[in-house]
Amino acid sequence: MSAAINFKSHLSELFAQALREVAPDQPDTSILIERPKQVAHGDYSCNLAMQLAKPLRKAPRDIANALIAALPKSAVVEKVEIAGAGFINVFITTVAKQQVVHGVLQAGAGYGHVHAGGGRKVGVEFVSANPTGPLHVGHGRGAAVGDCLCNVLHAAGWNVTREFYYNDAGAQIDNLTLSVQLRCKGVTPDDPSWPESGYRGDYITEVARGYIAKETVIADDQQVKACGDVNDAEAIRHFAVAYLRREQDLDLRAFQVEFDVFSLESALYTDGKVEETVKKLIASGHTYEQDNALWLRTTDFGDDKDRVMRKSDGGYTYFVPDVAYHLDKWRRGFVRVINEQGSDHHSTITRVRAGLQALNEGIPKGWPDYVLHQMVTVLKNGEEVKISKRAGSYVTLRDLIDEVGCDATRYFLAARHPDSQLVFDIDLAKSQSNDNPVYYIQYAHARVSTVLLQWGGDSAVLQHADVGVLDNEYETQLLQRMIDFPQVVEMAAEELAPHLIAFYLKELAADFHSYYNAVRILVDDEKLKLARLALIAAVAQVLKNGLALLGVSAPEKM
């Protein structure tokens, strides 16, 4: 039996074997292994007997007895009991729990990784900001959540591709072009002729200055040299988009976020993919003409009303290229696609999915998945911060990184459920106190490093420490918390909820700080000392692994 065993997965396999023997006609019954709320009820609980009561027409307790009798023997199971109407409570042996220390130290950075994804392909699209200005804090939340989600999915065994989709076509790009062109001609936002929809931030001046100076901009694989002609709107558009794509990429690199694929909305038109998609939708029989416009009958797929595809002026509505883009993802072989976007994209979900269903390409219902995040409010000195000197109308991601650092910014933006409103308190993020969760977690890791440095021994010997002496209440709690880590990773991937990692790390750090304050680690008893050093070294490894999933560093001194 591996020292780094995932107890929950192991028990699921045991009960699956028992299910095949007790109820061979019910192979699809879900097996739920949970933590009981009370310690007296064991380490894990299974309600399989309750689920089988109706199809088998037997009392749950009788089924529970049969399941227990059919459970294969396991070295990690101490005893199994029936509770209440038929819950099956499982107690894990103390020795098996203690062995998690060796399991963590042997697995190292791999501890917590599971195989739920089975190497299947998943494409995660996130940030996907319009290239019309610096990234704001909302984009930052999308970047933090999306990147952490990718890390979690990778740890759960998925083959992850990170993708950024640039909306480099449409009215907003027209507004950007005009704004830069006016700045090139010396017109400022204070001028009465400045358009209401024009961009007013100082960064527009920077773009205009670069264009007039005939700068060359490299954005990903694209190189654009400005010609300096202030009357050439098309040249200004190409330069401005490339310039701001480069700026956004620099912000993301400062945020330690990188992408595997960059896709352009404009390319969907130039490559003919939008036209191909429209033709396929027309051929599907789900479209009709009305009021000089082309409509998609999205009500055929659960929408509350049909949607315009091609407007009376001949232009396509924004969801049409979205459908073409997702068809391209499907054809690239992604069995699963996840879009992390702002909550303002909620209305697009139904119509994009409807369009994909109408294509008759075999795309499953409910594809793609969406994770939507809510707005971010930034506080400083107890007051809301609304604008940036550079952007003019909003707080930029770079503002936060410069103010509190990358670690705190990433943690705070990813540590809450995406669907909840987020208040980013700059003063809290900068504070070196236990109230600051980033400091609290990193300090736990640094404390372990300090103790190991004071000890001064060879850390390799800790892999062979006799962990059988780790039996006080603090040690038992730490062991149990570390045992839970692979299951937390699996759940975070399954529920698309990377904030669960942040919650877990706070709890593990709290358990460690309590242990550190209650127990002496560098005791005279050599056997006990090595066991405790091995325990805290394992705790540090799990903290480091969890922080890595959030993209946060694990400092050795603070």
Signed CA dihedral, 466, 470, 476, 478: sign only: negative
Cα separation of 335 and 362, whole Å?
11
Which residues does residue 225 pair with via DSSP β-bridges, in sequence order?
Answer: 216
Cα separation of 274 and 317, whole Å?
11
Token duo for residue 555 = 């400092």
Q: What is the pLDDT of residue 392?
A: 79
Kindly state whether residues 484 and 539 are assigned to the same domain: yes
Q: Is residue 557 domain-resident?
A: no
Other C-beta atoms lying within 10 Å of the C-beta of residue 84:
13
Kindly state whether residues 20 and 107 are assigned to the same domain: no
Other C-beta atoms lying within 10 Å of the C-beta of residue 55:
11
SS3 call for 245 = helix
Closest CA to 433 of 425, 443, 423: 443
SS3 sequence of 147-188: HHHHHHHHHCCCEEEEEEEECCCCHHHHHHHHHHHHHHCCCC
Q: Is 156 left (phi over 0), alpha (psi -120 to 50) or beta?
A: alpha
At 518, which helix (H) or strand (E)? helix 499-518
DSSP code string of 397-440:
HHHHHHHH-HHHHHHHHHSS-TTS-EEEEHHHHH--STTSHHHH
Q: Is residue 502 domain-resident?
A: yes
Identity of residue 113: H
Q: What is the pLDDT of residue 170?
A: 83
User: What's the distance, Cα to Cα, between the start and end of the chain in Å?
Assistant: 38
Cα separation of 222 and 219, whole Å?
5
Q: Is residue 63 domain-resident?
A: yes
Kindly state whether residues 495 and 545 are assigned to the same domain: yes
Which CATH number fits the domain that encloses residue 440?
A: 1.10.730.10
Q: What is the pLDDT of residue 453?
A: 97
Kindly state whether residues 441 and 514 are assigned to the same domain: yes
Q: What is the pLDDT of residue 327?
A: 97
Q: Is residue 494 domain-resident?
A: yes
Angle between helices 406-414 and 526-550 (to 10 degrees): 80
∠ Cα 158 159 165 (to 5°): 115
Cα separation of 357 and 224, whole Å?
38
Number of structural domains (the chain) is 2
Kindly state whether residues 16 and 111 are assigned to the same domain: no
At 324, which helix (H) or strand (E)? helix 319-331
Q: Is residue 515 domain-resident?
A: yes
pLDDT mean values, one per 10 residues, the chain (558 residues): 70 95 92 88 94 94 96 95 94 95 96 94 96 95 98 98 92 94 96 93 96 91 89 96 94 96 94 97 96 95 93 92 96 95 89 95 95 96 88 90 97 96 96 96 98 96 96 96 95 97 98 98 98 98 98 96
**Residue after which a domain boundary falls, among 92, 108, 138:** 92
Cα separation of 219 and 215, whole Å?
13
SS3 call for 301 = helix
Q: What is the pLDDT of residue 2?
A: 44
Cα separation of 529 and 519, whole Å?
11
Which residues does residue 425 pair with via DSSP β-bridges, in sequence order?
Answer: 379
∠ Cα 208 210 215 (to 5°): 145
Measured in degrees and rounded to the nearest 5, phi and psi for residue 377 equal -105, 130
Residue 315 DSSP symbol = P
CB 49 within 8 A of CB 60: yes
Kindly state whether residues 27 and 104 are assigned to the same domain: no
Burial class (CB in 10 A: 0-12, 13-18, 19+), 193: exposed
Identity of residue 506: K
At 308, which helix (H) or strand (E)? strand 307-310
Q: Is 80 left (phi over 0), alpha (psi -120 to 50) or beta?
A: beta
Residue 72 DSSP symbol = P
The model's pTM: 0.92
Q: Is residue 11 domain-resident?
A: yes
Kindly state whether residues 111 and 11 are assigned to the same domain: no
CB 224 within 8 A of CB 239: yes
Q: Tell me the Cα Rg of the chain.
A: 28
Q: Is 314 left (phi over 0), alpha (psi -120 to 50) or beta?
A: left
Q: Is residue 71 domain-resident?
A: yes
Q: Pairing state of beta strands 376-380 and 369-373?
A: unpaired
Kindly state whether residues 446 and 518 are assigned to the same domain: yes
Kindly state whether residues 103 and 88 are assigned to the same domain: no
Residue 128 DSSP symbol = -
Closest CA to 323 of 286, 293, 373: 286
CA 87 → CA 6, 19, 29, 37, 254, distances in Å? 21, 15, 16, 13, 51
CB 59 within 8 A of CB 70: no
Which CATH number fits the domain that encloses residue 75?
A: 3.30.1360.70
Residue 79 DSSP symbol = E
The label of the residue with tokens 């294969």 reads 72
Kindly state whether residues 85 and 102 are assigned to the same domain: no
**Residue after which a domain boundary falls, among 92, 125, 147:** 92
SS3 call for 425 = strand
CB proximity list for 106: less than 8 A, separation 6 or greater: 3, 4, 463
Cα separation of 129 and 165, whole Å?
8
Domain of 63 in residue numbering reads as 7-92
Kindly state whether residues 77 and 104 are assigned to the same domain: no
Q: What is the pLDDT of residue 4?
A: 60
Kindly state whether residues 515 and 473 are assigned to the same domain: yes
Token duo for residue 83 = 């509770």
Q: Is residue 276 domain-resident?
A: no
